[in-house]
C-alpha cells in the first residue's frame, strides 16, 4: 500500500539529484546491454546472416525494453492516473504527474539521449530528422519536468505513442536484415500490418487529436494571462508542430511501403503465373 501511495503522490517541479541519477543509471544500463549484445552475444548466437553486422540487431533488442516500459506505464497512467484534477487547460498544462508516470518520462528522456548517442555511430540510424527527434524529445522531457509544464501531454506523447514502436522493432529488423524477412515472411507481414494499424490509430489520429487539445489549452491560458511560462508555452507549440510534420512524413513512408508491398505482391504473382 505504501508503494501505491508513493506512486500516486504528485511530485513538485524541478529536476532533482535523484532524477539525474535515474537518467544516468538508465543510460549506463542501456549501454551495457547494447555492448554485451553487440560485442559478445549477437556475433556468437545470432543467426549466421546477422553475425557480420550485429550492431543493428543489438540496437533493436536493446530498444525493446525501454519502449515496452514507456508504452505500458504511459498507457496505464493515461487511462487511470488522469481521471481527476486535469479538467481545465491550466491544470492540464501546469499540474505535475504522479510519481509512476513521472518515472516513465525520465526513462524516455534517458532512452532518447542514449538513442541519439548510439545513432551517431551508424548510417542507418543517424538521419537528421531522427537525431532532431531524439534531441527535442529529451529536451522536452527535461524542460517539462524541471518547470512543471506539459506533463499531462507528456504522458501521451512520450508513453502511449510508444505502443506503436513495439511492432516496429520487428519491422526494422526485417528491413535491416532482408534474409530475416524472407525466412519469417508470415511474421514480417503480421508485424507490418500491426505496426501500420497502430501507427495510424496512435500516431496519426490520436496524436493529432491531442495536439489540437494542446494548442487549444495553450491559447486559452495565453489569452487569459494565466500561463506560468508564456515563452515556454509557445516553444512547446513549435516543437509539437515539428513532431506533427514528422508524423505526416512517416505516414507517407508507411503508405509508400504499403503500396510497394501490394504492387510487389502482385508482380510476384504475375511472374509466378508466367513461369507456369
Non-local CB neighbours of 193 within 8 Å, separated by 6+ positions: none
> In the block, which residue shows the cell 525493446?
64
What percentage of the chain reaches a pLDDT higher than 70? Answer: 92
What letter would DSSP give residue 150?
Answer: S
pLDDT in tens, 179-189: 999 999 999 99
Alpha-helical segments (H) within 99-164: 99-119, 128-147, 151-158
pLDDT for 1 equals 40
Which residues are registered as beta bridge partners of 10?
98
> In the block, which residue shows the cell 532518447?
112
**Residues found in the chain:** 276
Contact 129, 249 (CB under 8 A): yes
Nine cell digits for residue 272: 509466378
pLDDT in tens, 66-102: 999 999 999 999 999 898 999 999 999 999 999 889 9
Alpha-helical segments (H) within the chain: 2-8, 17-36, 42-45, 48-51, 54-80, 89-94, 99-119, 128-147, 151-158, 165-176, 178-183, 185-198, 207-224, 230-275
Least confident of 56-70, 147-161, 173-187, 248-262: 248-262
pLDDT for 10 equals 62
CA distances to 16, 36, 155, 249 from 102, rounded to whole Å, are 12, 29, 8, 29
pLDDT for 61 equals 99
Contact 19, 145 (CB under 8 A): yes
pLDDT for 187 equals 97
Q: Which of the four pLDDT bands, split at 50, 70 and 90, describes residue 3?
A: very low
pLDDT for 269 equals 42
Query: So where are the chain's domains?
Result: 16-271
For residue 110, pLDDT over 50 is answered with: yes
For residue 268, pLDDT over 60 is answered with: no
Which residues are registered as beta bridge partners of 98?
10
What predicted TM-score, i.e. pTM, was given to this entire model?
A: 0.91
Contact 92, 228 (CB under 8 A): no
Q: Which residue has the higher pLDDT, 265 or 153?
A: 153
Q: Which long-range contacts (CB under 8 A, 24 or more apart) does 115-124 make?
A: 115/63, 118/34, 118/59, 121/55, 122/55, 122/56, 122/59, 124/56, 124/176
Amino acid at each position: 500500500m505504501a508503494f501505491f501511495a508513493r506512486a500516486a503522490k504528485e511530485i513538485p517541479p524541478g529536476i532533482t539529484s535523484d532524477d539525474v541519477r535515474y537518467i544516468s543509471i538508465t543510460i549506463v544500463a542501456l549501454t551495457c546491454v547494447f555492448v554485451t549484445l553487440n560485442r559478445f552475444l549477437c556475433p556468437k548466437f545470432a543467426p549466421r546472416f546477422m553475425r557480420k553486422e550485429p550492431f543493428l540487431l543489438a540496437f533493436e533488442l536493446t530498444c525493446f525494453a525501454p519502449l515496452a516500459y514507456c508504452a505500458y506505464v504511459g498507457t496505464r497512467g493515461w487511462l487511470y492516473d488522469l481521471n481527476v484534477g486535469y479538467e481545465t487547460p491550466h491544470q492540464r498544462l501546469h499540474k505535475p504527474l504522479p510519481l509512476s508516470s513521472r518515472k516513465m518520462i525520465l526513462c524516455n528522456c534517458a532512452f532518447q539521449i542514449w538513442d541519439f548517442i548510439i545513432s551517431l555511430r551508424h548510417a542507418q540510424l543517424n538521419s537528421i530528422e531522427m537525431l532532431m527527434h531524439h534531441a527535442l524529445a529529451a529536451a522536452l522531457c527535461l524542460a517539462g519536468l524541471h518547470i512543471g509544464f506539459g506533463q499531462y501531454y507528456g504522458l501521451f506523447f512520450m508513453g502511449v505513442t510508444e505502443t506503436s514502436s513495439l511492432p516496429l522493432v520487428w519491422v526494422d529488423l526485417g528491413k535491416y536484415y532482408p534474409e530475416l524477412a524472407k525466412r519469417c515472411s508470415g511474421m514480417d507481414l503480421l508485424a507490418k500490418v500491426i505496426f501500420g494499424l497502430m501507427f495510424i490509430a496512435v500516431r496519426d489520429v490520436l496524436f493529432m487529436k491531442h495536439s489540437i487539445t494542446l494548442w487549444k489549452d495553450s491559447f486559452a491560458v495565453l489569452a487569459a494571462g494565466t500561463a506560468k511560462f508564456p515563452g515556454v508555452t509557445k516553444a512547446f507549440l513549435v516543437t509539437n508542430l515539428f513532431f506533427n510534420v514528422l508524423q505526416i512524413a512517416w505516414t507517407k513512408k508507411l503508405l509508400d511501403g504499403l503500396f510497394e508491398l501490394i504492387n510487389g505482391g502482385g508482380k510476384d504473382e504475375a511472374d509466378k503465373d508466367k513461369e507456369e
